[in-house]
C-alpha cells in the first residue's frame, strides 16, 4: 500500500503548492474553509426549506435525516479520538508543505486528521438530498468536495485519504442509520412536537441546527475547557 501513501502525499503537495505566495489567495481559501455559511449554513438552510415543503411524509424524512446527521457529527469526533493519532500534513516534520499565510503551525495540532469530520458530516447530509433529487444531490456532493473539503487540503489540514475516509464513513453511516430511524416512532414524535408546541420546537431546532452547522464546535471547545479545568483542579489537591 506504499503507493497509496505516496499518492496521498503527492496530491497534498500539488494542491498546496500555491500556498504561501499570495496573501490574498491564502486569505480567500482560508475564509472559504472557515465559513460556517458556506458549509453548514447552506446545507441546513436547504433542510429547513424542505421542512416547510409540506409534501406527505417530508417532515418524517427530514427529522430522521437530521437526527442521523447529529449522530454522525458526534461519531466523527469519537472516531478521531478512538483511532491512533494521525498527524496532519501541516504538522508533519520535513514533509515540505507550504505554510499558508495566516495559518500557524499550532493550528489544529491537538486534533487527529483522520477521518475528516467535515467530510463525514457533509457527505452524510448529501445522501438524503440525493434521495430527494439526484441533480441536487450531485450538486451537494460537488459543493462538499470543492468548497468544503478541497480548501482544507490546500491549507494542509488534511490528506486526501482523510477526506475519502470521512466521505465513505459519512455516507455509510447515513445509509445505516436513516432507515431504522424512519421505521421508529421518533420522526412522528418530532413532527407532532412541531405542530403541538411550535415555540419550543423551533427554538430547539434552531439551536441544534446551528450547532450541527458548525460541527458542534462550541460544545466541543467547552467540553475540552471543562476537562482541562477539571484536571487542573484535581491535580491541585
Residue 28 domain-assigned (yes or no): no
Residue 29 domain-assigned (yes or no): no
Output the pLDDT for position 121: 95
Mean pLDDT of 149-158: 92
Residue 30 domain-assigned (yes or no): no
pTM > 0.75: yes or no? yes
Q: How many structural domains compose the chain?
A: 1
d(CA 173, CA 9): 27
Residue 7's domain comprises 2-22+35-104+111-236
Residue 56 domain-assigned (yes or no): yes
Give me the sign of the Cα torsion angle 132, 136, 142, 147. Answer: negative
Residue 136 domain-assigned (yes or no): yes
**CA 47 from chain center: how many Å?**
16
Residue 158 domain-assigned (yes or no): yes
Maximum pairwise Cα distance, the chain: 60
Residue 72 domain-assigned (yes or no): yes
Cell 438552510 belongs to 45
Q: How far is CA 206 from CA 41, 157, 160, in A?
A: 12, 29, 33
Q: Among 51-55, 165-169, 209-213, 218-222, which range has the highest average pLDDT?
A: 165-169
Q: Lowest mean pLDDT: which of 41-55, 103-117, 123-137?
A: 103-117
Mean pLDDT of the chain: 87
The SS3 call for residue 214 is coil
DSSP 94-148: T------TT--TTTTTTS--SS-HHHHHHHHHHHHHHHH-HHHHHHHHHHIIIII
Residue 27 domain-assigned (yes or no): no
Output the pLDDT for position 232: 73
pLDDT in tens, 156-178: 889 999 999 999 999 999 999 99
pLDDT in tens, 104-129: 766 666 678 889 999 999 999 999 99
Amino acid at each position: 500500500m506504499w503507493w497509496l501513501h505516496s499518492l496521498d502525499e503527492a496530491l497534498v503537495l500539488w494542491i498546496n503548492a500555491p500556498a504561501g505566495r499570495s496573501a490574498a489567495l491564502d486569505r480567500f481559501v482560508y475564509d472559504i474553509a472557515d465559513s460556517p455559511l458556506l458549509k453548514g449554513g447552506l446545507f441546513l438552510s436547504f433542510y429547513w426549506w424542505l421542512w416547510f415543503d409540506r409534501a406527505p411524509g417530508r417532515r418524517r424524512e427530514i427529522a430522521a435525516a437530521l437526527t442521523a446527521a447529529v449522530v454522525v457529527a458526534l461519531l466523527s469526533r469519537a472516531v478521531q479520538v478512538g483511532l491512533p493519532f494521525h498527524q496532519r500534513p501541516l504538522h508533519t516534520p520535513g514533509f515540505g508543505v507550504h505554510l499558508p499565510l495566516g495559518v500557524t503551525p499550532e493550528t489544529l495540532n491537538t486534533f487527529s486528521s483522520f477521518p475528516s469530520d467535515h467530510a463525514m458530516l457533509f457527505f452524510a447530509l448529501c445522501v438524503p438530498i440525493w434521495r430527494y433529487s439526484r441533480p441536487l444531490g450531485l450538486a451537494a456532493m460537488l459543493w462538499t468536495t470543492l468548497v468544503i473539503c478541497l480548501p482544507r487540503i490546500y491549507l494542509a489540514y488534511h490528506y486526501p485519504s482523510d477526506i475519502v475516509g470521512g466521505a465513505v464513513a459519512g455516507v455509510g453511516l447515513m445509509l445505516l442509520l436513516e432507515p431504522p430511524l424512519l421505521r421508529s416512532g421518533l420522526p412522528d414524535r418530532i413532527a407532532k412536537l412541531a405542530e403541538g408546541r411550535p415555540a419550543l420546537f423551533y427554538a430547539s431546532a434552531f439551536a441544534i441546527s446551528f450547532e450541527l452547522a458548525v460541527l458542534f464546535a462550541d460544545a466541543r471547545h467547552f467540553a475540552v475547557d471543562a476537562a482541562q479545568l477539571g484536571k487542573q483542579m484535581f491535580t491541585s489537591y
